[in-house]
Structure 1
Amino acid sequence: MNDARLRFRSLALALVVLAITSLSARAQENTSAFLSDLHSFRISNYMALDAFYRFSASGSTDTLNEIVAGINAANDAMNAVSESTGGVLSKDQIESLNQEFDKFKSLMRENINVVRKEGYPDLRLVSDMANQAVAMSNKATDLYKVAQDSTQTDTNGRIEAARMAAVKMAQMMAKYSARTNSSVAQTFQGSSSEKPLDEQARDFDALFATVRKGPAQGELKDQLDNISTKWQFIRGSYVNYNENNVSFVIDRYSKGILKHLAKTIELLQKANG
């Protein structure tokens, strides 16, 4: 009888431990997906902003489609964040970010309509949108940190550096596009609260150096090497802005770096298991 009771207690204890472990694993998965969605949200909005600056100068339908694609991707990410069942953030916290996003989308629509109607942008409206993009990104970054802290998620340092590097690259790309495509670049150079491009470039240097620390073989090494090659090609243009630089090359290589960083994050997540 005593042996049967001991076996029952052992089995019950094992089931409790298994349940706790399973809940913890699911919580980690929910948090990981949540952080990934917040990251995608930040990147997509800067991609849309970059496309708008180019659209404001060209009125191109293809570029307008890029804006729509960026906003749609940000919408998908925001919806995923809002529908998350992990309880990572409160409804009020998520709604505060949604409100910032609504302001950004409203300003984007207004700016697009002005360019379509007048053939050129209203710099005051464009400035409002650029500043709203930064405010929204900062809000998303704050909530990202809150989500990490609230769940005590032990995220991989290289993954976090890669995400931060991607956001930095997206910010730089949009700011560079603002300067290149504005008919009065001396008047408008993007958000008034952002660091100058040369400082952002040096921030990217430091973040990418962190990503490169640690083992890198096979596909991961290829991705990092590709980032390094592309970055060295365009770094000088970010550090020393020159109106004679070929802007579409800077834009293409910057987007290439973003794609390589996204793949790098994916590979690091798999390796981190």
Structure 2
Amino acid sequence: MTNERVRIRSLTFALIALALVSLNARAQEAADTFLSDLHTFRISNYIALDAFYRYSGTQDPAILQDVVNGINAANDAMNTVAKATNGVLSKDAVEDLNQEFDKFKALMRDNINVNRKQGYPDLRLMSDMANQALTMSDKATELYKQAQDSAQLKTDDRVEAARMAAVKMAQMMAKYSARTNSSNAQTFQGAADEKALDQQAKEFDGFLEQLGRGRDIPALKDTIDEIRSKWEFIRGSYINYNQNNVSFVIDRYSKGILSALNTAIDLLQQSQKS
């Protein structure tokens, strides 16, 4: 009888331990998904901003749809974040970010309406939107770090490098587009407190170097080589801005880098599960 009780007690403890491990794994997965949605939110807003700058210089309805797509992607990510805090962040903190996003969307709407009405952008209004995009991105980055600390989630260093590289590329792409597509490029160059393009490009160099460290994963190596190849092609244009550069090529290659960075993140996360 005593041995039977010991076996039952041992089995109970084992089941409890297994349940705790399972709960912890699910909590970690939920927290990582939360971080992924915050990352998508940051990227999507800068993609929308880049598209708006291109639209302001061309008045092309097809480009306007790119603005809508970027805002919709950011909106979906924000809604997911708001519904799935899971104790990772307070509702007030998420609501603060949501309010900053509402301000950005309102400014985007106003800028589009002004462009439609007068055929060219309002510099003050466009500057307000650029500054709001930077404020909102900084807030999202702050919450991203808070979520990591709250969930005690240690994200893979290379995943973090890829995400930071993607945010930096999206910011550079939007800033470059602001200078290229504005008829007042000498007076409007994006957010007032944003770093210069050459500084951001050098930061991107650092993130790309971090991404290249670590054990080799065949598909990942090919993806990083693709990123490096594209970056080498356009890096000089970001370091030494020149109005004679072909802007649509810079935009296309920048988006190709963003797509490849997303692939790198997926490959890294898959390798961790295998």
TM (normalized to structure 2)? 0.98
Question: Residues 1-273 of structure 1 correspond to what in structure 2 (within 5 A)?
Answer: 1-84=1-84, 86-273=86-273
Distance 1:272 1:5 in 2: 39
Structure 1's unaligned 5+ residue stretches are: none
8 Å contact from structure 2 (residues 34, 85) kept in 1: no
8 Å contact from structure 2 (residues 223, 264) kept in 1: yes
Q: Which moved more, 1:40-49 or 1:1-10?
A: 1-10
Q: Deviations 1:183-219 (Å, cap 9, x if unpaired)?
A: 1111100001110000000000000000001123322
Q: Deviations 1:95-129 (Å, cap 9, x if unpaired)?
A: 01100000000000000000000000000000000
Distance 2:189 2:154 in 1: 38
Q: Deviations 1:30-67 (Å, cap 9, x if unpaired)?
A: 01100000000000000000000010011101100000
Residue type matched to 1:19 in 2? A
Distance 1:85 1:7 in 2: 40
Distance 1:154 1:73 in 2: 26
**Cα distance, 1:222 vs. partner?**
1.3
RMSD (CA atoms)? 0.7
Residue type matched to 2:79 in 1? N
Between the aligned residues of both structures, percent identity stands at: 66
Question: Does the residue aligned with 2:189 lie in a helix, a strand or coil?
Answer: coil
Which stretches of structure 1, 4 residues or more, deviate above 2 A after TM superposition?
215-218
Question: Does the residue aligned with 2:232 lie in a helix, a strand or coil?
Answer: helix
Residue type matched to 1:39 in 2? H
Distance 1:223 1:208 in 2: 12
8 Å contact from structure 2 (residues 46, 170) kept in 1: yes
Residue type matched to 1:20 in 2? L
**Cα distance, 1:85 vs. partner?**
5.4
Distance 1:217 1:35 in 2: 24
Matched length = 273
**Cα distance, 1:247 vs. partner?**
0.4
Distance 2:246 2:11 in 1: 69
TM (normalized to structure 1)? 0.99
Distance 1:63 1:186 in 2: 23
Q: Which moved more, 1:84-93 or 1:129-138?
A: 84-93
Distance 2:216 2:35 in 1: 24
Distance 1:208 1:10 in 2: 49
Question: Does the residue aligned with 2:192 lie in a helix, a strand or coil?
Answer: coil
Distance 1:110 1:216 in 2: 48
Distance 2:223 2:27 in 1: 30
